[in-house]
Structure 1
Amino acid sequence: MNDRSAIGMDVAAGRSGDIEARTTLVGDQQLMVAVKRGDESRPPLLLFNGIGANWELAKPFLEALSDTKAIIFDMPGIGGSSSPRRPYRPSGVARLAARLVADLGHQEIDVAGVSWGGGIAQEFAHQNPRLCRRLVLAATSPGAIMIPGRPRALLRMATPRRYWDKAHMTKIAPEIYGGSFKNDPSMIGRHVEGMFGASSVGYVYQLLAMVGWTSLPWLRSLRQPTLILMGRDDPLVPLANGHVLARLIPNARLEVIDDGHLFIVTRPVETARRIERFLVHER
């Protein structure tokens, strides 16, 4: 991943409602970037997605935001972003994201991360204490040193097969995600329709990025007001990890959603309402 910050010419663009998506060069890395329009007088929300997830999987959540501008991009090798030339670490993704934010013209942002993306969000907030105003961590943990999920569910996450084999995803989703996917199987089909695949290289690099990474040594140094959202029935990241984060981050609080790992997908309106209340209405 190259650290040069020049943003290149758009090579593709598309628009859907209030969301505009385009591929953009940040250094020599081509990224698929989606921007949901919103109130320009407030800092936008930069969202880091989960492992293997293309930005469209977060579309229901983006559309549920009432008037918050939001930015999301596919990780290298995922969705519409080109495969990276070499493995990377969370620190490299955080630097890449900071350069993207600067090139988009923002001097202050709020940051949210879901699952795998929660680790990147923590790293971003740690690297950029002045750029990052507020932090939202959803269904995530402090990294390698965490309270582990169910072994069988974690084993299923070792391969990207669920992103290109939709029948496989339909079969395993209740087991790995819990919550509404277990209680209402009809939700699985709607989620599957939004998947656009993850390359094997991109997925493996995402797995490798988090090997040995942990935020525990510096969580107490984070000064951003932080909202931690956790699912009550999460097979991958047990609720106890949210209690750890809330205890170690000085200005943090934990809210529990009565759902599974992907509550941002299964309960987009409730999730958006909680996050916007935290970002907009609480001082």
Structure 2
Amino acid sequence: MTASKTEPMTATIEMMEAGGRTLRVAHWRLDEKSDHPPILFFNGIGANIEAVAPLAERLTERGFVMFDMPGTGESPDPTVPYNPFTMSWTANQILDQLGLGEVDVMGVSWGGAMAQHFTLQYPKRTRRLVLVATTAGMLMVPGKPAALTKMANPRRYIDPDFMNEHFMTLYGGMTKRAGSKEDHIGRLKPPSPRGYLYQLLAMLGWTSLPALPFMAKEVLVMMGDEDQIVPLINGRILASAIPNARLEVFEGGGHLFLLTHADESVAMLREFLGAPETKAEGRRAA
């Protein structure tokens, strides 16, 4: 496997073989001493590493690992379909190759389902779990039909005019911070049609709900109260089903509040994952 540096990210980028797949993996600060376990991050559907790189860059006190799903970013197209079990197994192999042990696991939207499954499949490897703008899978309260139909349309990655026209419907509060929409769009790389389809199919029929009462982990559920894709009620369902979970609601937060409310999100993550507490504004306890 080969490593290289990319700009503007400070990540090390590697093409790694894991689980019979070639995947583009990014990691930050794994060679630096830290009092905190690294974060294993699962991205949203169709999203590439660069989309969430700003979050990884800001969490300077800990390592961070993320990879492009097959057919997204610069990972090659999948040759066969996959599911949460096989992709969790693949992620576990990536951690082995990087020489990592226990990690904190985090996922946003589609990746939040993957994060739940990884934690259930590898409880001894997971210390704490962070779920962002996500659901328990098939047993969920759907968002607004206008947002869901546009979310499922790969044109949002391929056609800039389509993305610009429907951005508010898709992501909510992203337009409230000057330049944030343009910055986010500029970081996106379209997934391949097959890669996008296989991600959609991977969660077909999947739900974590029956297993959540047995999840013996500290869990932070972060939701935006203006999310049109994953309504807040889904976070309440997760928090009520997991014995040791707490729900934090970000006021004015759309589906991408992790980026629009970056200061508050990073402060909350540091508080929950063990770094010195930083005061967070613009959120309320549920």
Confirm or deny a common fold (TM above 0.5): yes
What number of residue pairs does the alignment pair up?
Answer: 272
> Does the aligned pair in 1 maintain the 2:19–2:89 contact within 8 Å?
no
Deviation at 1:14, TM superposition (A): 2.2
Question: Is the 1:149–1:236 Cα contact (8 Å) retained in structure 2?
Answer: yes
Residue 87 of structure 1 and its aligned partner are, at CA, apart by 1.0
Say which SS state the counterpart of residue 226 (structure 1) adopts: strand
Listed as ranges, the gaps of 5+ residues in structure 1 are 1-8
Matched, 1:260 2:251: no
Q: CA deviation at 1:265?
A: 2.0
2:211 paired with 1:218? yes
Aligned residues of 2:142 and 2:230 also touching (Cα < 8 A): yes
Aligned to 1:35: 27
Q: Deviations over 1:199-242 (max 9, x none)?
A: 01000000011111100110011111000000110000000111
1:66-105 correspondence runs (5 A): 66-105=60-99
Name the TM-score, length of structure 1 as normaliser. 0.92
Amino acid at match of 2:16: T
Give the conservation status (yes or no) of the 8 Å contact 1:113–1:137. Answer: yes
Aligned partner of 2:283 in structure 1 is: none
Query: For 2:274, what is the secondary structure of its paired residue?
Result: helix
Kept in 1: contact 2:19–2:93 (CA 8 A): no
SS at match of 1:237: coil
Partner residue, 2:11? 19
User: What amino acid is the match of 1:200?
Assistant: P
Amino acid at match of 2:92: A
Measured after TM superposition, the shift of residue 185 of structure 1 is 7.0
Q: How far, CA to CA, are the matches of 1:22 and 1:172 in structure 2?
A: 34
Task: Note the 1:119-268 alignment, pairs <5 A.
Answer: 119-181=113-175, 183-184=176-177, 186-258=179-251, 259-268=253-262
Deviation (angstroms), 1:154: 0.5
Distance 1:184 1:43 in 2: 31
CA deviations on 1:6-45 (whole Å, 9 max, x unpaired) are xxx22x6224464212222214311111111154442100
Alpha carbons 1:14, 1:22 under 8 Å: kept: no
Q: Establish whether residue 114 from structure 1 lines up as the match of residue 105 from structure 2.
A: no
Name the stretch that deviates more: 149-158 or 34-43: 34-43
- Say which SS state the counterpart of residue 88 (structure 1) adopts: coil
Matched letter for residue 5 of structure 2: G
Partner of 2:156: helix, strand, or coil? helix
Unaligned 5+ runs, structure 2: 277-286
Whole-angstrom CA distance in 2 between matches of 1:39 and 1:170: 42
Report the AA paired with residue 81 of structure 1. S
More deviation, 192-201/156-165: 156-165
1-structure distance, mates of 2:18, 2:4 = 16
Structure 2 counterpart SS, 1:189 = helix
SS at match of 1:245: helix
Sequence identity, in percent?
Answer: 43
1:5 corresponds to which residue?
A: none
- Give the structure-2-normalised TM-score: 0.91
**Helix, strand or coil for the counterpart of 2:36?**
coil
The secondary structure found in structure 2 opposite 1:98 is helix
Aligned CA distance change for structure 1 residues 39 and 230 (closer, same or farther; 3 Å): farther
